Amino acid sequence: MSENGAPAGTGASGHPLAGARPALRFDIALPDLGGRRALVTGGNSGLGFETALRLAAAGAEVTITARSRQKGVDAASRLRALLQAAPDARGAGRAGEIRLASLDLADLRSIERFADDYSAAGHPLDLLVNNAGVMAVPRRTLTDDGFELQFGTNHLGHFAITGRLMPLLLRADAPRVVTLSSGAHWAGRLDFDDLQREHRYNAWAAYGQSKLANLVFAKEFARRSGALGWQITSVAAHPGFSRTNLQSSGPNLGRARPRRMLDRVTALPGFAQSAAEGALPALFAATTPDALGGDYFGPSGLLELSGLPGFAHVAKRAENERAARRLWAVSEELTGVLFPRD
């Protein structure tokens, strides 16, 4: 470990996916995850895809969720092909399995259906990565349940899925939940008088609120886990600035003519990191044995935009325990999903 808690970097040689993927500029080594079950929301794209790939290459059985059946099927077959093509993925045939499930986080019924199916066999869940997200939707848009799309998907959807999977998490030996936040949490405010942004909508303010809510949730989850003895390690991570579909999907939602400005910024040399590099903080958060509940990880380079994972800076607002308890209560009320009380 380096001074800021970052792991020692590993070179490209010895990488479990060597030969199947372009080498990263920096990397971390993952422990053997054989026998572990992981679930990554939004695993068909960007960081979720890369996170699922690395977890499976380290031996975990990984379920990716996708809201689009076709995108999910394509991603699952790409993941399986990459794992097969990687001669060192824990030795031929020893990489973990990739599974696919349908989940729309903007629809509470979809979340309930998914959780019922996924829980049917009663297998413990070792790792949940609350990764899916949508950013900077230009016009106020609602989920199927009438929530503002970013707050509804990024926060309430993950709150509900985590709550519904609690029985499986509680059954695991050392369960962990990683929730993706963002540098955008610094600009976020939890407006309890207008969480759904009915009165004043701004695309970035709504995204910032949802990402602050992700971090507040992760920290409150950790406090409750400690107080109630759940023994679930809840941590958060952010990917810095990474080239994914995030920069085009949300900002172009509802636009007849797509705008590509953010895409162009991510393409500037040296500005953004690749999705594979951007997945490292979440992977570190998911696997470092040194993580404590409530920790927040991100890239350790300039302005936390890129680099090896380390501890990330947290806005003071994200540490407000009163606001966290309030957000928790409102989220239970809005989703109808109750976490255990003891």
Ligand X SMILES: NC(=O)c1ccc[n+]([C@@H]2O[C@H](COP(=O)([O-])OP(=O)(O)OC[C@H]3O[C@@H](n4cnc5c(N)ncnc54)[C@H](OP(=O)(O)O)[C@@H]3O)[C@@H](O)[C@H]2O)c1
Catalytic residues: 207
Q: How far is the CB of 49 from ligand X (least distance, A)?
A: 7
Structure tokens at 54: 């690395």
Between 42 and 293, CB nearer to ligand X: 42
Q: How far is the CB of 227 from ligand X (least distance, A)?
A: 27
51 binds ligand X (CB under 6 A): no
Between 133 and 175, CB nearer to ligand X: 133
DSSP designation for 72: H
3-state secondary structure of 247: helix
Structure tokens at 174: 């050392």
Stretch that binds ligand X, among 12-20, 88-96, 99-107, 313-321 (CB under 6 A): 99-107
179 binds ligand X (CB under 6 A): no
245 binds ligand X (CB under 6 A): yes
Burial of 330 by CB count in 10 Å (0-12 exposed, 13-18 middle, 19+ buried)? middle
Q: Within 266-305, which residues bind ligand X (CB under 6 A)?
A: 278
Structure tokens at 106: 């903007």
DSSP designation for 297: E
Q: Are strands 98-102 and 233-237 parallel, antiparallel or unpaired?
A: unpaired
Q: How far is the CB of 171 from ligand X (least distance, A)?
A: 25
What is the C-alpha separation between 177 and 286, in angstroms, rounded?
Answer: 7
By C-alpha distance, which of 62, 73, 26, 46 is closest to 299? 26
132 binds ligand X (CB under 6 A): yes
Q: Are strands 37-40 and 61-66 parallel, antiparallel or unpaired?
A: parallel
Stretch that binds ligand X, among 119-127, 161-169, 239-247, 306-314 (CB under 6 A): 239-247
Q: Are strands 296-299 and 309-311 parallel, antiparallel or unpaired?
A: antiparallel
314 binds ligand X (CB under 6 A): no
**Residue of 15, 17, 24, 46 interacting with ligand X (CB under 6 A):** 46
Stretch that binds ligand X, among 43-51, 193-201, 254-262, 321-329 (CB under 6 A): 43-51
48 binds ligand X (CB under 6 A): yes
182 binds ligand X (CB under 6 A): yes
3-state secondary structure of 1: coil
Q: How far is the CB of 75 from ligand X (least distance, A)?
A: 8
Between 37 and 67, CB nearer to ligand X: 67
**Residue of 7, 42, 307, 310 interacting with ligand X (CB under 6 A):** 42
Stretch that binds ligand X, among 18-26, 44-52, 83-91, 332-340 (CB under 6 A): 44-52
Between 133 and 188, CB nearer to ligand X: 133
Contact of 136 with 207, CB cutoff 8 Å: yes
By C-alpha distance, which of 41, 331, 342 is closest to 163? 331
Strand order in the sheet with 127-130: 98-102, 61-66, 37-40, 127-130, 176-180, 233-237, 296-299, 309-311
Q: Using CB under 6 A as the criterion, which residues of the chain lie in contact with ligand X when the complex forms?
A: 42, 44-48, 67-68, 71, 103-106, 131-135, 153-154, 180, 182, 238-239, 241-242, 244-246, 249, 278
